[in-house]
């Protein structure tokens, strides 16, 4: 049992931190205010290889382990929740399923461009009527000759419109299971620019405002037969397994947001004076910070453990669910306390903690709400 | 009050600007049914100024007699002189049943008259029949036959009440327009015309009409519309909304839309139905090219009647629709509009 990071990981973390401080932090507030996707930063991250960290070198990635990737998301989230989720959705939700379920041709065709950041990825599962109940899919894919024809829509898609490659989950038929009719769900790779594939609403969000969250619309969108990902009818399993990995990314994002808010607060309470001394000298401040730091570290250990589990275990759903559930709670709690300790200034947009509080809330909702994580964890306990 | 003296089914034949309103013919159609059950005849009461010429038209739709109250005081509808006219007719001729259309005029006139002649009135009826009261014999209570059983929705349509007026005459009801069927026109029919004028002495109860405005509203509040023709992304283009506008015009409704349509910039936000738009409760809601996500359905599921047109038979909208057509709206809407136009023309 070794809790110290090895040299390789320490070096990687230093690189991520420097990049975040120098390249991301100066634009974080502007990204939030303008709600504009930070394309320039994404291009820079591509140059540094941040968009293919856990991808094997032969597919154009960095060949690092899941922990290195989680640390990258964590360090980015310390300064900008938006930038962190761009990397996470791209890596966990688009590259990972292609690497895990794709044929050799599909991997060769899509992964190098994605890993190098030449192209950006996204994942389309959620629909207006199918959120937590992902089985409620309405989008259909019908085989017509040697093309699949997609009809339907997806909502709340991170990296929507900005991404070039999309993993899309759709219904391909009905199957009888134990005498009950069930939807047969499959996964597909769809490229931006395919006729019949358009973008609808851009959502106006409370937080992660620079993240491009769009509706995807498929109207008789025809894709080649070979763009099905994995076997026909295996789409639901693919989506669920993809989300297990994605949850580690979101847990890392939540952890980073909490750490960022804690760092800012520690600095602030030392500087701010009331009653003739810094507010750090008041015991309430000290105890609050102690609670925050303890829960942040607990979250960090869970997140890192889940990242390790992804590396060493075939199944890591429970580890990922625990990490995301707890880290998201910690992010919400720590950012709320951070705003409080800043007092009135914490409520002003110039001080970054209010943004972090807004960004934190989504980590309890997307890639499976906290309630879903509890379902996964308890389901495993009681099986 | 000697109830035996009261005979016949009477209908208030509403006219505005010398033109009979459609409700007059609908009431005559229903009155014929009631009269045949009671083995009596149908009388139309025509009130206005210089309106005698309308009697033949009333005959063509089933009036056996027409009582005309014709006086310059009755040129435009005003509560007091019209109440005086109709109440006088009732006191003079003693009808058993007096039907009034539940139009803006009828809702004003009916209660006034019923109070003046001291009888019961059921408002906004949707069903009228002759039957026994009480419906089932009750010990110790006389069951009366040949009563007018008046049925109307109450509490916003959440309950249905059947009401009788056993001890007073006439039995009065205002009847919801569009519910009763007029009979096919009998060409050349003649009715016995009786002129009756109770005399009018204007007093301070006579309001003075300063101005009558016939407004043609350009922008409507979709929350007030009785019929909504609502389009979604499936309509395909802003130009294609013409099909919906044609249908709305034919059926007397308004066009509304889903969020997707607003997001595409095809329609303004104030026409959006749904969780983040307006919640509507029209009598009829056409959902055209709308998939029926809960975010939309939450804004319209309380509509009395939902008609869905969608090319995808598995669209969730069909779960809330009373009637559904699976098919291409580009083919269906023009035909539907034509049929409705024809039906409307036939009603006139």
Instruction: Give the pLDDT confidence of A91-148 residue by residue, as tens digits.
Output: 999 999 999 999 999 999 999 999 999 999 999 999 998 999 999 999 999 999 999 9
Q: How many CB atoms lie within 10 A of CB A338?
A: 31
Q: Does B160 belong to an annotated binding site?
A: no
Report d(CA A223, CA A195) in Å as an integer.
9
Phi, psi of B129, rounded to the nearest 5 degrees? -150, 165
- What single DSSP character describes residue A49? T
B236-245 contacts at long range (C-beta below 8 A, 24 or more positions apart): B236/B289, B236/B330, B237/B266, B238/B264, B238/B265, B238/B266, B238/B267, B240/B330, B241/B266, B241/B267, B243/B329, B243/B330, B243/B333, B243/B334, B243/B337, B244/B286, B244/B288, B244/B333
- Contact: A138, B260; criterion CB under 8 Å: no
Phi, psi of A125, rounded to the nearest 5 degrees? -120, -50
Evaluate if residue B129 carries a pLDDT over 60: yes
The structural domain count of chain B equals 2
Q: At B215, is the pLDDT very low, low, confident or very high (cuts 50, 70, 90)?
A: low
Evaluate if residue B137 carries a pLDDT over 70: yes
Same domain (yes/no): B186, B261: no
Report d(CA A56, CA B161) in Å as an integer.
75
pLDDT of residue A182: 87
Q: At B195, is the pLDDT very low, low, confident or very high (cuts 50, 70, 90)?
A: very high
Please give the residue that has the higher pLDDT: either A76 or B214.
A76
Same domain (yes/no): B181, B269: no
Same domain (yes/no): B12, B125: yes
- Contact: A200, B264; criterion CB under 8 Å: yes
Question: Do B159 and B144 meet the contact criterion of CB atoms below 8 Å apart?
Answer: no
Set of chain B residues whose Cβ sits within 8 Å of the Cβ of A217: 233
Question: Do B148 and B165 meet the contact criterion of CB atoms below 8 Å apart?
Answer: yes
Residue A151 in contact with partner chain B when CB distance is under 8 A: yes
Residue B260 in contact with partner chain A when CB distance is under 8 A: yes
Question: Do B47 and B132 meet the contact criterion of CB atoms below 8 Å apart?
Answer: no
Report d(CA A137, CA A200) in Å as an integer.
18
Set of chain A residues whose Cβ sits within 8 Å of the Cβ of B233: 153, 200, 217
Report d(CA B281, CA B154) in Å as an integer.
16
B53-58 contacts at long range (C-beta below 8 A, 24 or more positions apart): B54/B13, B54/B15, B54/B18, B54/B20, B55/B191, B55/B193, B56/B189, B56/B190, B56/B191, B57/B20, B58/B13, B58/B20, B58/B24, B58/B28, B58/B191
Rounded mean pLDDT of B192-203?
90
Report d(CA B334, CA A44) in Å as an integer.
55
Evaluate if residue B348 carries a pLDDT over 70: no
Same domain (yes/no): B184, B257: no
Residue at a domain's end among B147, B180, B195: B195
Here the CATH number for the domain that contains residue B129 is: 3.40.50.620
pLDDT of residue B205: 80
| B276 lies in some domain | yes
* Nearest by CB: B294 against A129, A140, A153: A129
- Best B269, B314, B317 residue to mutate vs chain A (most A CBs within 10 Å): B314
Same domain (yes/no): B159, B15: yes
Same domain (yes/no): B311, B241: yes
Evaluate if residue B2 carries a pLDDT over 80: no
Q: Which domains does chain A have, with CATH numbers?
A: 5-119 (1.10.540.10), 120-234 (2.40.110.10), 236-380 (1.20.140.10)
Set of chain A residues whose Cβ sits within 8 Å of the Cβ of B260: 200-201, 215
Residue B291 in contact with partner chain A when CB distance is under 8 A: yes
Phi, psi of A7, rounded to the nearest 5 degrees? -60, -40
Q: How many CB atoms lie within 10 A of CB A348?
A: 12
| B29 lies in some domain | yes
* Nearest by CB: B294 against A128, A140, A151: A128
Set of chain A residues whose Cβ sits within 8 Å of the Cβ of B314: 138, 140
Same domain (yes/no): B31, B83: yes
pTM of the model: 0.75
Residue A220 in contact with partner chain B when CB distance is under 8 A: no
Residue A173 in contact with partner chain B when CB distance is under 8 A: no
Q: At CA A34, angle to CA A31 and CA A35, rounded to 5?
A: 70
Q: At B217, is the pLDDT very low, low, confident or very high (cuts 50, 70, 90)?
A: low
pLDDT of residue A232: 96
pLDDT of residue A383: 87
Same domain (yes/no): B35, B147: yes
User: For residue B264, what is the nearest residue in chain A, using CA coordinates?
Assistant: A200
Residues above pLDDT 90, as percent of chain A: 95
pLDDT of residue B5: 80
Residue A277's beta-bridge partner residues? Answer: A274
Same domain (yes/no): B230, B190: no
- Contact: B315, A201; criterion CB under 8 Å: no
Phi, psi of B299, rounded to the nearest 5 degrees? -90, -5
Set of chain B residues whose Cβ sits within 8 Å of the Cβ of A153: 233, 291
Q: Which of residues 181-200 of A touch B (CB under 8 A)?
A: 200
Q: Which tens digits make up the pLDDT trace of B58-112?
A: 999 999 999 999 999 999 999 999 999 999 999 999 999 999 999 999 999 999 9
pLDDT of residue A2: 86
- What single DSSP character describes residue A222? E
Q: Which residues of chain A have pLDDT under 70?
A: none
Q: Which helix (H) or strand (E) holds B83?
A: helix B79-93
Residue of A116, A226, A95 lying closest to A166 (CA atoms): A95
Same domain (yes/no): B189, B228: no
Whole domain around residue B330: which residue ranges? 222-347
Here the CATH number for the domain that contains residue B254 is: 3.40.50.1220
- Best B291, B295, B299, B320 residue to mutate vs chain A (most A CBs within 10 Å): B291
| B334 lies in some domain | yes
pLDDT of residue B216: 64
Report d(CA B198, CA B71) in Å as an integer.
10
Residue A162 is a catalytic residue: no
Set of chain A residues whose Cβ sits within 8 Å of the Cβ of B265: none
User: For residue A219, what is the nearest residue in chain B, using CA coordinates?
Assistant: B234
Cβ pairs A/B, distance under 8 A: 27
Q: 């900005």: which residue's tokens? A: A162
Same domain (yes/no): B111, B178: yes
Report d(CA B150, CA B158) in Å as an integer.
17
Question: Do A355 and A338 meet the contact criterion of CB atoms below 8 Å apart?
Answer: no
Evaluate if residue B153 carries a pLDDT over 90: no
Q: At B1, is the pLDDT very low, low, confident or very high (cuts 50, 70, 90)?
A: low
| B203 lies in some domain | no
Same domain (yes/no): B73, B179: yes
- Contact: B291, A138; criterion CB under 8 Å: yes
- Contact: B295, A128; criterion CB under 8 Å: yes
Active site residue: A75, A215, A352, A367, which one? A367
Question: Do A140 and A152 meet the contact criterion of CB atoms below 8 Å apart?
Answer: yes
Q: At B219, is the pLDDT very low, low, confident or very high (cuts 50, 70, 90)?
A: low
Residue B235 in contact with partner chain A when CB distance is under 8 A: no
């Amino acid at each position: 049992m070794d809790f110290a990071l090895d040299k390789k990981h320490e070096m990687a973390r230093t690189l991520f931190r420097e990049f975040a401080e120098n390249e991301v932090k100066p634009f974080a507030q502007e990204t939030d205010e303008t709600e504009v996707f930070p394309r320039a930063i994404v291009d820079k991250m591509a140059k540094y290889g941040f968009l293919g960290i856990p991808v094997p070198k032969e597919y154009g990635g960095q060949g690092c382990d899941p922990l290195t990737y989680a640390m990258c998301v964590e360090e980015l989230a310390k300064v900008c929740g938006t930038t962190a989720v761009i990397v996470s959705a791209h890596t966990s939700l688009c590259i990972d399923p292609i690497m895990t379920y794709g044929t050799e041709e599909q991997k060769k065709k899509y992964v190098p461009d994605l890993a190098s950041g030449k192209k950006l990825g996204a994942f389309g599962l959620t629909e207006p009527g199918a959120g937590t109940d992902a089985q409620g899919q309405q989008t259909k894919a019908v085989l017509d000759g040697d093309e699949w024809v997609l009809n339907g829509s997806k909502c709340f898609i991170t990296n929507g419109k900005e991404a070039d490659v999309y993993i899309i989950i759709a219904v391909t038929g009905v199957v009888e299971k134990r005498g009950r009719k069930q939807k047969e769900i499959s996964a597909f790779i769809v490229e931006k620019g395919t006729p019949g594939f358009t973008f609808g609403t851009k959502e106006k969000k409370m937080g992660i405002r620079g993240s491009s969250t769009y509706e995807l619309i498929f109207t008789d969108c025809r894709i080649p037969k070979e763009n099905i990902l994995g076997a026909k009818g295996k789409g639901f399993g693919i989506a669920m397994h993809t989300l297990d990995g994605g949850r580690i990314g979101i847990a890392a994002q939540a952890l980073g947001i909490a750490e960022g808010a804690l760092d800012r607060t520690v600095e602030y309470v030392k500087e701010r004076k009331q009653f003739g001394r810094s507010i750090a000298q008041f015991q309430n401040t000290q105890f609050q910070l102690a609670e925050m730091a303890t829960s942040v570290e607990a979250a960090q250990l869970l997140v890192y453990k889940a990242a390790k589990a992804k590396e060493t275990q075939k199944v890591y759903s429970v580890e990922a669910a625990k990490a995301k559930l707890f880290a998201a709670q910690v992010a919400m709690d720590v950012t709320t306390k951070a705003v409080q300790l800043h007092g009135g200034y914490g409520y002003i947009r110039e001080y970054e903690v209010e943004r972090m509080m807004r960004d934190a809330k989504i980590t309890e909702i997307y890639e499976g709400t906290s309630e879903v994580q509890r379902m996964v964890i308890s389901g495993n306990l009681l099986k | 009050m000697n109830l035996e003296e009261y005979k016949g089914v009477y209908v208030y034949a509403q006219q505005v600007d010398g033109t009979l309103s459609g409700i007059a013919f609908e009431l005559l159609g229903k009155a014929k049914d009631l009269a045949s059950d009671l083995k009596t005849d149908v009388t139309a009461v025509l009130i206005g100024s210089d309106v005698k010429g309308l009697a033949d038209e009333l005959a063509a739709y089933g009036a056996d007699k027409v009582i005309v109250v014709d006086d310059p005081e009755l040129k435009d509808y005003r509560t007091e002189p019209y109440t005086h006219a109709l109440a006088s007719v009732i006191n003079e001729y003693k009808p058993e049943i007096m039907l009034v259309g539940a139009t803006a005029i009828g809702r004003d006139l009916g209660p006034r008259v019923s109070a003046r002649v001291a009888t019961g009135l059921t408002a906004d009826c949707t069903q009228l029949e002759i039957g026994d009261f009480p419906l089932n014999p009750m010990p110790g209570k006389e069951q009366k036959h040949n009563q007018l059983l008046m049925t109307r929705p109450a509490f916003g349509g959440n309950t249905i009440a059947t009401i009788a007026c056993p001890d007073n005459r006439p039995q009065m009801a205002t009847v919801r327009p569009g519910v009763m069927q007029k009979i096919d026109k009998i060409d050349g029919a003649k009715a016995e015309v009786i002129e009756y004028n109770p005399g009018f002495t204007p007093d301070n109860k006579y309001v003075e009409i300063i101005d009558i405005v016939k407004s043609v509203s350009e922008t409507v509040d979709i929350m007030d519309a009785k019929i909504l023709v609502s389009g979604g992304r499936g309509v395909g283009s802003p130009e294609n909304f013409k099909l919906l506008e044609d249908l709305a015009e034919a059926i007397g409704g308004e066009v509304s839309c889903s969020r997707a349509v607003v997001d595409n910039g095809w329609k303004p936000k104030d026409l959006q139905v749904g969780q983040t738009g307006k919640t509507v409760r029209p009598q009829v809601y056409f959902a055209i090219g709308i998939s029926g996500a809960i975010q939309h359905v939450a804004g319209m599921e309380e509509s009395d009647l939902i008609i869905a047109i969608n090319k995808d038979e598995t669209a969730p909208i069909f779960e809330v629709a009373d009637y559904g057509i699976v098919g291409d709206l580009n083919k269906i809407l023009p035909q539907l509009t034509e049929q409705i136009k024809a039906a409307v023309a036939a009603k006139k």
